Amino acid sequence: MNPARTANTARAHSTRKRTRIQEANEEKILDAGLEVFSTYGFRGATVDQIAALAGMTKPNLLYYFRRKDDIYLAVLQRTLEMWLQPLAALSAKGDPAAEITAYIDRKLELSRENPKASRLFAIEIMQGAPVLGEVLSGRLKELVDEKAAVIRAWVAAGKLAPIDPYHLIFMIWATTQHYADFEVQIRAVLGDRADRGDHFDTARRTLERVFLGGIDGTTPPA
Amino acid sequence: MNPARTANTARAHSTRKRTRIQEANEEKILDAGLEVFSTYGFRGATVDQIAALAGMTKPNLLYYFRRKDDIYLAVLQRTLEMWLQPLAALSAKGDPAAEITAYIDRKLELSRENPKASRLFAIEIMQGAPVLGEVLSGRLKELVDEKAAVIRAWVAAGKLAPIDPYHLIFMIWATTQHYADFEVQIRAVLGDRADRGDHFDTARRTLERVFLGGIDGTTPPA
DNA sequence: AGATTTCCTGACCATTTGGTCAAGGGAAAA
DNA sequence: TTTTCCCTTGACCAAATGGTCAGGAAATCT
């Protein structure tokens, strides 16, 4: 039902040093795993499918990762740091508007470069976060609490409009990750526009504009 | 692999009129189907699981919906109209800011009242929209094109800041649906705050504030 | 080269899963 | 009340799925 919580990543002979073949194959498996898990979720993914995509037989894959759970866990772990990094980089010292703009840009860039990772987390969370649950209420919550305090200080100093810092962060997550998670819908709705030029660039400009100045036309931004 | 495209909803004797039992059981099945599909996606869901949740045996469920595909299709169809309605209600005649605020409120309300439907669409789209694909590039695209034109006219009339209408709509979708799709993460990050009072109300106020005025503190809103 | 360890595979297995079917039990029309 | 549907179920099936295992093929080490 729910993946294991033991961090017993790979089988391959824990005490020995890692071979080149081992390194290469584990990477192929993790790549394939990311592809499949990010599309079908843990339960919808099959080991055969991952093995086929990784270009190896199922028993061979299971030589490196003994259980489906282990692959899933390893894929999540590999992408987790990358996912937390942008918010961690938000600095209290910088200019509020510039810091938040930079945060939006980094998150959006991540959505463009690694949409599969975004979808992986999205599916994991929608399924109730059976594996990441503790990370969410632990590390992630602490990180958000910390940065929310930074934003709140900016608001108190009159450098930002009086908005709830948590929901501002949620808005940034939502809008930036949307371009990865709902890529198919965006392409469908934009139609030709999605191909003509870079819609990620239009997205970036629109996000920055709305977050910084809102949509109100009566007081145009400087 | 991918669900059928035939709209052959239920088995039950197409020509005959619908019984009470039939009506009641189909509803139980669709409710259970929504619950399960919205959590695990099409492939991750099992018919046994849906049957158990609907309080009946698998063969009994399959008497009403002959194939797993049929349940999935029916669940999607039942929730589709509800999903498109808020955007359709956006009127060119109203005040731009008021119309957009109302749209945000409606979408957010839908996320609160029917988070499962939101997650159902999210998972379907993340899996490549095998069923809804044509709806996205058909009806949805047409609807968005129409409303984008309305927004563009507002911009041209100087009633809104010069933003891309498509990406504004995406932002509204993203931010409002986020509260349904990532409910688990939101609750984890908010911790106690999620329970104390209604965080949906804080969300609404924050969304309205940011969309209308941005986060800039140097030019406070009226 | 020879010994040792790592890597790979076909065959196999238990369980789960989507789906069928014949036959009995009920509701409701006649 | 009888007849006619509609509803429900246990038993069953073929395919898919997660996982095992013995043994052979490659690397790697000495």
Q: What is the per-residue pLDDT across B164-205, written as a single tens digit (0 to 9) for each?
A: 999 999 999 999 999 999 999 999 999 988 887 789 999 999
CB contact under 8 A, A122 and B158: no
A98 and B CB contact within 8 Å: no
> Chain A: nearest CA to B125, how far in angstroms?
6
- Residue A161, pLDDT above cutoff 70: yes
Q: Which of B68, B118, B185, B199 to mutate to test the interface with A (most CBs of A within 10 A)?
A: B185
CB under 8 A, 24+ apart: contacts of B12-18: B12/B63, B12/B64
Region of poorest pLDDT, from A38-42, A143-147, B157-161, B196-200: B196-200
Residue B95 token pair: 């005040």
Specify the pLDDT at position B2: 37
A83: CB partners within 8 A, 6+ apart? A110, A117, A121
- Give the contacts of B45 (CB within 8 A, at least 6 positions apart): B33, B36, B37, B39, B68, B72
pLDDT in tens, B28-43: 999 999 999 999 999 9
Percent of chain A whose pLDDT exceeds 70: 88
Contacts of B179 in chain A (CB under 8 A): 170
Q: How far apart are CA A19 and CA A21, in angstroms?
A: 5
- B160 forms bridges with which residues in the sheet? A216
Q: How confident is the prediction for chain A on average, in pLDDT?
A: 90
Angstrom CA distances, B17 to A69, A145, A154, B56, B109, stand at 48, 58, 64, 22, 35
A57, pLDDT greater than 60: yes
What is the pLDDT at residue A214? Answer: 64
Distance C18 C1' – B67 CA (angstroms)? 8
What's the token pair of residue A188?
């469908």
Q: Which residue has the higher pLDDT, A17 or B141?
A: B141
CA atoms within 13 A on the CB side of A213: 16
pLDDT digits (tens, 9 = 90+) for A95-140: 999 999 999 999 999 999 999 999 999 999 999 999 999 999 999 9
Residue A8 and residue A49 in contact, taking contact as beta carbons nearer than 8 Å: no
Buried b (16+ CB within 10 A) or exposed e, A194-206: beeeebeebbbeb
> For B194-209, what is each residue's pLDDT tens digit?
887 789 999 999 999 9
Secondary-structure breakdown of chain A: helix, strand, coil percentages, each rounded to the nearest 5:
70, 0, 25
